[in-house]
Chain A
């Protein structure tokens, strides 16, 4: 049973502050909140791209961060799959090389390449460069790249934002198929309640704090 436990505080130099204490189980959990509330910051803290000032993060009994013990695992050792809001496909590598970038890392589970390519309809795109793909195709490649990593937890940053209704439904369909196939616990952030209702089994709400940091953004369980 996957369990993410997070109890952290983080403050940026500009005064923005966030406090988060929550647990996430298996299945799909949404982190819902308005723009500027710190959703992406929280995702980056979980991924190891930012270091919390205080607190602990555990996933399945593994400590990712613990300020008291001086533990902070680098992003590459956390075995997470991250789909960034801007996708961040490597522009100089073909789709095939993008997909395979995270394959075969230590501690990762194995995901069948052919099965994934079939499931996300990427077969015809493998030799192309990301810059030649449509937005929806790029989204599928980014999702496939994160899945092929064989992650213990999938983190999605606004996976459906900036997509029109038709494309959103198609990406959602792909996402649901992939998550059903590999049962990877997923945490996704969104500012759109409709997206949250479509995808999430559990919801965490992040309440926006004051930009001065006197009142930090806080995560509350729905």
Chain B
């Protein structure tokens, strides 16, 4: 396998996995919280929140990347404070790539998770409350386990979307080999070089394999969890 990929390609693979995993893990709790909130609460301006949330799905990714740059650039609205107070930089770093991936994947995750919560019988939560469980216990013992398929689907969707993120990533993190050059960016770079179509084919196959592995892992998790529940 060492011979199959060049050091640059290995680096892109590991970086992609790191970026996608970070983006998924860090945004999953917020996606679960927001999905639950949107499924359970009706409030004034809910449609507005939902529209805003879906924006990254319909905007050109480059535009989202541009907005992230405006927000999190070194002189950006938030970026300047991150720099000043914590010495934390996102632009041209893998963390910036993870942020771009998280923002692009977030709406997909929330959608899948929200549907899972909305499909539940909310009276099960009422039953748990009458049995002495507070809001948090009810959420963690009843609502969340019952929504696990949706959460898992959301996480896999988010991971896959993060893995394929290009436009927003290139805006905020650039295309630095070994630093921010993920699989899609390397494919783009290689494909633009002479004879690059053949060179990038390996990476294309690898990207497909990683996506398939993520789907299989989710399926396996779902099955083992189902068996555990059946045993009680």
Contacts and interface: CB of A to CB of B under 8 A. Distances in A.
B124 A94 contact: no
Interface string B66-93: 0000000000000000000000000000
Contact of B126 (A75, A106, A129): A75
B145 A92 contact: yes
A88 B123 contact: yes
A88 B124 CA distance: 6
Interface string A95-114: 11100011001101000000
B131 interface: yes
Contact of A91 (B126, B146, B231): B146
B128 A80 contact: no
A129 B141 CA distance: 16
Contacts, number: 70
A24 interface: no
Contacts of B142: 90
A145 interface: yes
Interface residues of B, number: 20
Contacts of B231: 94, 127
B121 interface: yes
B232 interface: yes
A129 B228 CA distance: 11
A166 to B, nearest CB: 27
Contact of A47 (B128, B130, B134): B130
Contacts of B129: 48-49, 74-76
Contacts of B194: none
Nearest to B131: A102
Interface in B129-182: 129-134, 141-142, 145-146
28 contacts: A48-B129, A48-B130, A49-B126, A49-B130, A74-B129, A75-B129, A75-B130, A76-B129, A76-B130, A76-B132, A76-B133, A78-B130, A80-B130, A81-B130, A82-B127, A82-B130, A84-B123, A84-B127, A86-B123, A88-B126, A90-B127, A90-B128, A90-B142, A92-B229, A101-B141, A106-B132, A146-B131, A149-B132
> Which 6 residue pairs across A and B have the least CB separation, nearest first?
A94-B232, A102-B131, A105-B132, A88-B127, A75-B129, A82-B130
Interface of A: 47-49, 74-76, 78-82, 84, 86, 88, 90-97, 101-102, 105-106, 108, 126-129, 145-146, 149
